[in-house]
Chain A
Amino acid sequence: MADVKKIATRDSYGNALKELGALHEDLVVLDADLAGATKTGTFQKAFPDRHFDCGIAESNMTAVAAGLSTTGLVPFVSTFAMFAAGRAFEQVRNSIGYPHLNVKIGATHAGISVGEDGASHQCNEDLALMRAIPGMVVINPADDVEARAAVAVAYEYVGPVYMRFGRLAVPVFHDEENYRFEIGKGEEICPGSDITIIATGLMVKEAMDASKQLAEEGISCRVINMATIKPLDEEIVLKAAKETGKIVTAEEHSIIGGLGEAVCGVLSEKLPTPVRRVGVMDTFGESGPAADLLKLYGLSAENLVKVCKEMVK
């Protein structure tokens, strides 16, 4: 088998910005002294006069983007998820969300796969924070193809969008030629009839691997890639619940407030169905290589197989 190509979605973000920048003169990028890490440096090299470094001042940067958007520009604000959704939460909420301004937030280094930097930088709460803001679109792409497509769609969409990207290089499994990203549409990526894993971000590939392993044991596991956390594709969730009767959610995020609870919210009100949430279990992360941490915190195909088997039994 040929080697699977691996690309970090933060690289996809930088590359997509550069491609879009060539097409759209109104696209500007803001960064807070992290252009090298968020990969907006790729855009900066191509369009230096359209890249505004704001220094280490994320609150100001976020509200500056709100102001920029009122002059007809389309700003992409970039920093680590911890600061984009955490430190600048209130600026996102009051200066972007409340007036529903056309600002795109590109949050990189999300989740525990930040790795060695440890818990202070491993943001497992951003989806919860951003989901709670009225009118905010929240996107968590799974691979390079999806991430680049999502950035392009976010540019075209008028209104605030939060996009979550990772530091870790992850396998590319979408087919560039055929893949179309649509806000609010989940994707059935593996068929199955016994149980469904609804996954987002880097957990989608883990879910696909889990589905393969489960098939070998006679369990037919559907996998849904839920790239848009908000608005949630309720239809695909309800269909899976109806057809497979059991749901597992998988996210590189706290089990509180993210995809898992979004899915539970829909199901508990419209079609009560047993659900198990796989994610970071209401705890802070720690330092270590990303791959080791993902295993340690149960964010793996192996753990998904275990949870699915417990449910199907």
Chain B
Amino acid sequence: MTNEEKKELQIIATKIRIGIIEGTHAAKSGHPGGSLSSAELLAYLYFKEMKIDPKNPRWEERDRFVLSKGHAAPLLYSTLANRGFFPVEDLKTLRHVGSYLQGHPNMNDVPGVDMSTGSLGQGISTACGMAKGFKYQNKPNRVYALLGDGEIQEGEVWEAMMFAAHYKLDNLCVFIDNNNLQIDGEISKVMSPYPIDEKLKAFGLEVETIDGQDLSQIEAALSHAKATKGKPYAVVMKTTKGKGVSYMENQAGWHGKAPNDAEYEQALAELNATLKELEG
């Protein structure tokens, strides 16, 4: 990735963040905190890494992405809209009656959504199914899944990890958004899943820990994942929940709350300033 490409992806990540704020503000509900924390990852996956075609969302040869932490729907929607799957203006219909942008993603409603998710723990299992299906059919499609660090408290996640390692799903790359916060507070205080990397290793995955908001580290991790054979790859991403909006950063309270009008104005002002600086 050149410096120019990196800057372009930073601009995209900021635009994705703006879409998250637009959506949750218009919805008067939704999950901005954990959406903002993975904007760099989705910018990199959808604008550089994944084999996709916004004009042909059901293209059989595409790579797949499963948002296992389905409550970060505003993040996925904003990414897809910015990538051209549907109009960016539609983000403001999020969670409205009649909108295809449901509170949690439905694959049959939204162009570009590869799996319906929302109930935590299930998305990673479906991603395993996709990876197994492609492997069994000798197809080259790769599968990416994003989980929350609170989500991995669900037992099903570990059933899925066992499955992924047992069937040597090296076409699967799992990301854990380790922003250290869940609804009730710090994950270590609510119900600690730590040490996350050691647990994943013990379940048979190849594991790497990165700064999840550093595009160069995301790029390196994805290249390591592709080079790894015979094992699924897991990336523990250290992130800041609410990243990019000063008053939301590291605040568990912004897990599932929408900004009011004043907060919305401030968030947009901050993100637009970031955008202006990047576009220089």
Contact = CB atoms under 8 A, between A and B. Distances in A.
Given A59-B156, A90-B119, A67 B136 contact: no
Contacts of B119: 90, 94-95
17 contacts: A63-B125, A63-B126, A63-B160, A64-B126, A64-B129, A65-B129, A67-B115, A67-B127, A67-B128, A70-B114, A71-B133, A71-B137, A72-B137, A73-B136, A90-B119, A95-B122, A95-B126
A55 interface: yes
- Residue from the set A57, A63, A68, A94 with the largest chain B CB neighbour count within 10 Å: A63
Contacts of B133: 67-68, 70-73
A107 to B, nearest CB: 19
B130 A60 contact: no
A57 B159 contact: yes
Nearest to B143: A67
Interface string B103-125: 00011100000111011011101
Contact of A66 (B121, B126, B134, B159): B126
A55 B130 contact: no
B132 interface: yes
B136 A28 contact: yes
A68 B125 contact: no
A99 B159 contact: no
Contacts of A65: 129
Nearest to A59: B156
B88 interface: no
Interface string A72-92: 110100000000000000110
Contacts of A68: 129-130, 132-133
A165 to B, nearest CB: 23
Contact of B122 (A50, A71, A94, A100): A94
Interface residues of A, number: 29
Contacts of A157: none
A49 interface: yes
Interface string A35-67: 000000000000001101011010110111111
B108 A72 contact: no
B48 interface: no
Across the A-B interface, give the 5 residue pairs with the lowest CB-CB distance, nearest first.
A67-B129, A71-B133, A63-B125, A60-B159, A67-B126
Interface of B: 60, 64, 66, 106-108, 114-116, 118-119, 121-123, 125-134, 136-137, 139, 141, 155-156, 159-160, 162-163, 166-167
B132 A64 contact: yes
Contacts of A72: 60, 133, 137
Contacts of A95: 115-116, 119, 122, 125-126
B130 A67 contact: yes
B134 A64 contact: no
Contacts of A69: 129
B122 A91 contact: yes
Contacts of B64: 70
Contacts of B116: 94-95, 98-99
Contacts of B106: 98-99
B134 A71 contact: yes
Nearest to B66: A67
Given A28-B136, A49-B136, A55 B162 contact: yes
